[in-house]
A = this chain, B = another copy of it.
Amino acid sequence: MPRRTDARMSRHRDTPATIGAMPKIVDHEQRRADIISGLLRVVARDGIDAATTRALAKELGVATGSLWHYFSNFDTLVAEATARVIDLVSTRIAERTTNVRGMAKFDAIMTELLPLDDVTRNEAVIIVNLWGRLSTRTVYFEWVGTIETWWEDLRAAMCEAVEDGELVPETPVEELVQVFAAITHGQQVAHAAIPETPPEAHEAIVRTVLAPWRA
């Protein structure tokens, strides 16, 4: 929940300056967004283990203490940064799947999930850096659920492909959704481990799994 600041508080050294008549709440949300962006840059460039409070403050050019006016602790910040990445991916999927269905929709979704271009490769590095914390931090369990919408979209696309005769009626849609979820995560790891992996290698893996079911 955003913390409201009044004019007197905004002159405190660690509080963002207000501009003209702009509501303070905007400054606060903007500063939170800036901190999240800063964290994502540091993680993508130097790894999550290098993303200390000190490194983040340096990245943003602010005092270390100022960060904790906006986030109660590091885990909250990381959780919100992860939510931001997931949200960006979901928004792109929504944009690209308007007015398409079946295999065209399937391909559009996988294009946003696999590390195929600069944007998705950068996200893969960030996501792989964040996964380790999943196993020990229940605070992240919330956003694991939000990823489910990607697999629901993929399921819907494959069902349409069966309806439209692009995939054979025997296509095990439910089972394949699980396979493509695993492949998405696996290829993000493959990119983090071997950044030279060409886009074609990621695409070939999806094609191999789908080949037996094409009509």
Seen from chain A, the residues whose Cβ lies within 8 Å of a Cβ on chain B are 45-50, 125, 128-137, 144, 172, 175-176, 178-179, 181-187, 189-190, 192-195, 201, 204-205, 208-209, 211-213
Query: Once the chains are docked, how many angstroms separate the CA of A201 from the CA of B49?
Result: 31
Q: Which residue of B130, B182, B205 contacts A190 across the interface (Cβ within 8 Å)?
A: B182
Q: What are 8 sample pairs from A and B whose C-beta atoms fall under 8 A apart?
A: A45-B136, A49-B133, A131-B192, A131-B193, A132-B132, A182-B182, A182-B205, A185-B189
Where chain A touches its partner, the secondary structure class is helix
Q: Which residue of B133, B172, B179, B192 contacts A135 across the interface (Cβ within 8 Å)?
A: B192
Query: Once the chains are docked, how many angstroms separate the CA of A213 from the CA of B208?
Result: 12
Give chain B nearest CB distance to A210 CB in angstroms.
Answer: 10
From A49, A129, A212, residue with most partner B Cβ within 10 Å: A49
Q: Which residue of B136, B182, B211 contacts A186 across the interface (Cβ within 8 Å)?
A: B182
Query: Taking A49-B48, A186-B183 as contacts, is the C-beta distance between A128 and B136 under 8 angstroms?
Result: no
Give chain B nearest CB distance to A39 CB in angstroms.
Answer: 13
Query: Once the chains are docked, how many angstroms separate the CA of A186 from the CA of B45?
Result: 23
- When the two chains form their complex, are residues B134 and A192 in contact, meaning their CB atoms are under 8 A apart? yes
Query: Taking A178-B205, A182-B190, A193-B144 as contacts, is the C-beta distance between A135 and B129 under 8 angstroms?
Result: yes
Q: Which residue of B182, B193, B195 contacts A183 across the interface (Cβ within 8 Å)?
A: B182
Query: Once the chains are docked, how many angstroms separate the CA of A128 from the CA of B50?
Result: 17
**Which residues of chain B have C-beta atoms less than 8 A from A175's C-beta?**
204-205, 208
Query: Taking A49-B132, A172-B208, A175-B208 as contacts, is the C-beta distance between A181 and B192 under 8 angstroms?
Result: no
Instruction: Beyond A125-B135, A179-B208, A186-B186, list 19 extra A-B contacts (CB 8 Å).
Output: A47-B135, A47-B136, A49-B132, A129-B132, A131-B189, A131-B193, A132-B132, A135-B192, A172-B208, A172-B211, A175-B204, A175-B205, A178-B201, A181-B190, A182-B187, A185-B186, A185-B189, A186-B189, A209-B209
